[in-house]
Amino acid sequence: MLFQSLRIRNVAIQPAHILAPMAGITDTVFRRFIKRLGGCGLIMTEFVSSEGMVRQNFRSQRYLYYTEEERPISAQIFGADPAHLAEAARQIEDLGFDLVDLNLGCPAKKVVKCGGSGLLRDLPLLERILRAIRAAVKIPFTIKFRSGWSDEEIVAVQVARMAEDCGVEALAVHPRTRLQGYSGRANREIIRQVKQAVRIPVVGNGDVLTPPDAAALQAQTGCDAVMIGRAAASNPWIFRQLAEFFQTGFYREPEDADRYDLIRTYYSMLVAEEVPGAIGKMKQFASWFTHGVRNGTELRRQVQTAREASEVLERVDAFFASLTPPQEATIAI
């Protein structure tokens, strides 16, 4: 069975399906929500600024809250100062995280100025950072990186080999350049080249929207695990679908009842846990969670015009109560 398991030293990831770190999305509520749906073997925090951690910034501390239910869990950090990144990694270890990950992939301008994919243009500095973090912690250390800054500056294989030499224990490769952002197609040939260049586990990331996409990723690259980001926001069942597909060759599409339960459960978690700005989160996720919902435009309108979180829940209940009984849909290849 594809992606059945992966071990990063003492951390067992079963199945080898990983939720990518996503700013503004992968908070503790969303992570637990994904875990409860099933099929996800490893989750990751939103990326956290090492500078904020060193200053004991409240937002950084909030990003690093997690529960035992979320294990195994990795915390992702970003920055460009080797000493501060090492200190941030020590704090991650002290907080009890299972792994620490360095972000070398974010293409946002404000992040590139102080880390993220910007470090792919300064490999000597990156090497100092990798060695500083590795020396600072005993827990497994991984990185997530893009193929390079531009098509003229592809450094994926060079970065992978350097990382392995510095003691990094697994690599997640998003094979787009920083200048690409999220446009165009991910170049899976780069993942294949990285996999052939190193002995440590390689995680493939990019353009996996369905279980057959994940199977094609593995066939084309030989990667050891699959990491999914944006697709999980609009289809949180994707990890469960992967497990089902790799076991049976089939996977079930969600019915109206599944979509209602998904939206109602996530929104109720936001309210029950008194998440700051819960209604803003509800409106943010409405644009994703309503994909595939019949007359989803109207549901989005209902959520976006609500003024209170309790009103959102009432409108969701009323909307789904008005739908006709759901129909089953099964997909196979």
Positions marked catalytic: 106
130, 102 contact by CB (below 8 A): yes
- What is the residue whose two structure tokens read 């080797």? 82
CA 331 to CA 288: how far, in whole Å? 21
What tokens does 49 get?
A: 């600024």
- Local structure of residue 42 (DSSP, 8 states): B
Place of tokens 């490999």: 123
Region of residue 228 (left: phi > 0; alpha: psi -120 to 50; beta: else) = beta
Q: How many other C-beta atoms can be found within 10 angstroms of the C-beta atom of residue 325?
A: 7
Q: Is the CB of residue 26 less than 8 Å from the CB of residue 227?
A: no
CB-based contact 44:19 (threshold 8 Å): yes
Who's near 253: CB < 8 A, 6+ residues apart? Answer: 292, 329, 330, 331
CA distances from 258 to 262, 265, 271, 309, 326 (A): 6, 10, 20, 21, 9
Instruction: Write down how long the chain is.
Output: 333
C-alpha R_g of the chain: 20
Question: Residue 24 in contact with residue 284, Cβ under 8 Å?
Answer: yes
